[in-house]
Structure 1
Amino acid sequence: MSSIRERNKELILRAASEEFADKGFAATKTSDIAAKAGLPKPNVYYYFKSKENLYREVLESIIEPIMQASTPFNAEGDPEEVLSAYIRSKVRISRDLPFASKVFASEIMHGAPHLSPRQVEQLNAQARHNIACIQRWIDKGRIAPVDPHHLMFSIWAATQTYADFDWQISVVTGKAKLDESDYEAATQTIIRLVLKGCAPDS
């Protein structure tokens, strides 16, 4: 019974991610989510109680991987290894959770109205931690004296692109869908740009 429950919740969550990413919170109807999930509309309310709760669940599903991506950051770690692992994780999130990533990006662009104060502080605390680690590397001469805030912004933008601008990427590359080799090429390119840009000054 629990496996059916988990399967149905996963179907609804995936369908909701797509609908919210495509239409936004206000324009999305629970009936459309149910139809995409292939389940009766009452199931949406049975499992998630409301559209608002479902939207927050979509946000929660992407916040956890975003937080986990920052795990390698520590002041004593090797900058090349830490930054490479972080970039790889961020591209993987855009590849594996593109719709939830779009929903999260839209939420942030609109001032995070549906994120709880706890979630906002959690994300901000992690960002502050990462930036502090980068500053420590700079202070010790382990990387170039780049602005740590803008380094993080640049990595976020470069990796998030593969979720937010999939249509443009498809048009430019001529591919309906990027494959594993494309994502690996993207990862390696971003890593190379960041590491070369952060290399200590001679």
Structure 2
Amino acid sequence: MPRFLAHGKKMDDLPPLTRIQTRNRSAIMSGGLDAFSTAGFKGATLDQIADAAGLSKPNLLYYFPSKEAIYAALLEELLKTWLDPLRTLDPNGNPIEEILAYAHRKLAMSRDFPRESRLFANEILAGAPQIHAVLAGPLRTLVDEKAQIMRGWMDAGLIRKSDPHHLIFSIWALTQHYADFDVQVRAVLGDVDPFSGADTFVDHLYRTLLQPPDQDHL
């Protein structure tokens, strides 16, 4: 996803941004993240983003020529880090601890980056028009690679056998729920921090699920 300014030049072809330009661009990205994660792509407007960024609409358009450009830039930055938790799963590590560490990293992302999680969810619910190629390409390749590692651990009797793809899907569904359905979770729990017990529950759930059958009695 190449990044463009209003005059048509790619951002990567331009000199480094000044301190003020960096601050304004960061404000626009944060305002866009607020707008898109709340209202979705169709519901968000440039006026909303400009207001959230504390900039005039013409000033915003100096940095990004359209709403689409802001959205594309946000997704580009998101995808740089969204796949990292799975990439770091070590085939030479302890299988149960590696999978648990992955689940905890995903849960931490829901805690620390809830707006980014909802932006990603909204994009998926819309049919992934901007990132479908990434989902069907790099993401699928990465998931297949890690699923093969998990399958090898299962065949070696190091973890209980299951479908590794669905194991990964279940981790996504469980951990991202805390960000994507934050309002529902907090409404049910009241004043309790949902993440204070989530780490313990996730650890217990997947440790129990992954324990090899011959170790159930231990």
Q: Report the TM-score, using the length of structure 2 for normalisation.
A: 0.84
Structure (1 or 2) with the larger CA radius of gyration: 2
Structure 1: 4+ residue segments shifted above 6 A: none
Determine the structure 1 residue equivalent to 2:178. 162
Instruction: Please say if residues 16 and 55 of structure 1, whose CA atoms lie closer than 8 Å, have aligned partners that are also in contact.
Output: yes
Q: What is the 5 A alignment of 1:60-79? A: 60-79=76-95
Which of 95, 103, 107 is equivalent to 1:87?
Answer: 103
Q: In structure 2, do the counterparts of structure 1 residues 125 and 43 end up closer, same or farther at CA, with 3 Å as the change threshold?
A: farther
Structure 2 residue identity aligned to 1:200: P
Q: Compute the displacement of 1:93 (Å).
A: 1.3
* C-alpha deviation, 1:118, in angstroms: 4.6
CA RMSD of superposed structures (Å): 1.8
Q: Which residue of 1 aligns with 2:210?
A: 198
Q: Does 1:122 align with 2:138?
A: yes
Contact residue 118 and residue 180 of structure 2 kept, 8 A: yes
Check conservation: 1:19, 1:32, Cα contact below 8 A. Answer: yes
The Cα of 1:200 is off from its aligned counterpart by: 0.5
Percent pairwise identity: 35
Partners of 1:109 and 1:127 lie apart in 2 by: 20
CA contact (8 A) 2:96 2:211 kept: no
Unpaired runs of at least 5, structure 1: none
Matched ranges for 1:37-52 at <5 A: 37-52=53-68
Number of the residue aligned with 1:183: 195
Structure 2, unaligned runs of 5 or more = 1-16
> Aligned residue for 1:96?
112
Q: Give distance in 2, aligned partners of 1:71 and 1:90.
A: 12
What does 1:20-35 correspond to in 2, within 5 Å?
A: 20-35=36-51
